[in-house]
Chains A and B, each alone.
Chain A
Amino acid sequence: EVQLVESGGGLEQPGGSLRLSCAASGFKLSMYAMSWVRQAPGKGLEGVAVIGASGSNTYYADSVKGRFIISRDNSKNTLYLQMNSLRAEDMGIYYCARPLRGLITHAFDMWGQGTVVTVSS
């Protein structure tokens, strides 16, 4: 089955760190740029980070620049998001998403089920 499955979310204190994973199955992750998108509770969607297919190019939203790192291991068909210096405003559901035609920016035709990040003391 072609799917994306996120993991690694949970409860963390402000200032703490979490590492999210997104395991791809049914297709070769290496052929696609990939993104992380988040959704604060009861809110809309926000683009967080993008990584090119080879991993050479990465892009971040201003709100997470310098704190989050997107990476990938194509040999494991897995995408990652290292989240450091967590803030309350980082709370929400984090989705990994695959763009059409593998391009850096395009519509997302595949989404994971999401993993929940809670930041609270």
Chain B
Amino acid sequence: EIVMTQSPVTLSVSPGERATLSCRASQSVSSNLAWYQQRPGQAPRLLIYGASTRATGIPGRFSGSGSGTEFTLTISSLQSEDFAVYFCHQYNDWFTFGGGTQVDIK
């Protein structure tokens, strides 16, 4: 099973600042990597797929990069609605998720 490791576990950021989240795969997943946002009490919401393609309706402040085993989600200027948990997800071999990064207000 491909293990996905996200860092940091918690990220404290001020509104308007940039947030950089990392996700590492235990083996190459090519570009078969997605990012989701999950707010309390809600289902996950797809942000990025194919490592760098924004899903429909996702604002341009969200961007993804990377391939192979190292991936990054960047939120360029945090808005109040962006404080949530973010998960990465590889779908190259079966499908596994990272443990999540909680983005908190600083």
Contact = CB atoms under 8 A, between A and B. Distances in A.
Interface of A: 35, 43-47, 50, 59, 61-62, 95, 99-100, 105-109, 111-114
Q: Is the interface of B mostly helix, strand, loop or mixed?
A: loop
24 contacts: A35-B95, A43-B99, A44-B87, A44-B97, A44-B98, A45-B44, A45-B97, A46-B97, A47-B94, A47-B97, A50-B95, A59-B94, A61-B94, A95-B44, A105-B91, A107-B46, A107-B55, A108-B36, A108-B89, A109-B46, A109-B49, A111-B44, A112-B43, A113-B43
A108 B38 CA distance: 13
Interface of B: 1, 32, 34, 36, 43-46, 49-50, 55-56, 87, 89, 91-92, 94-100
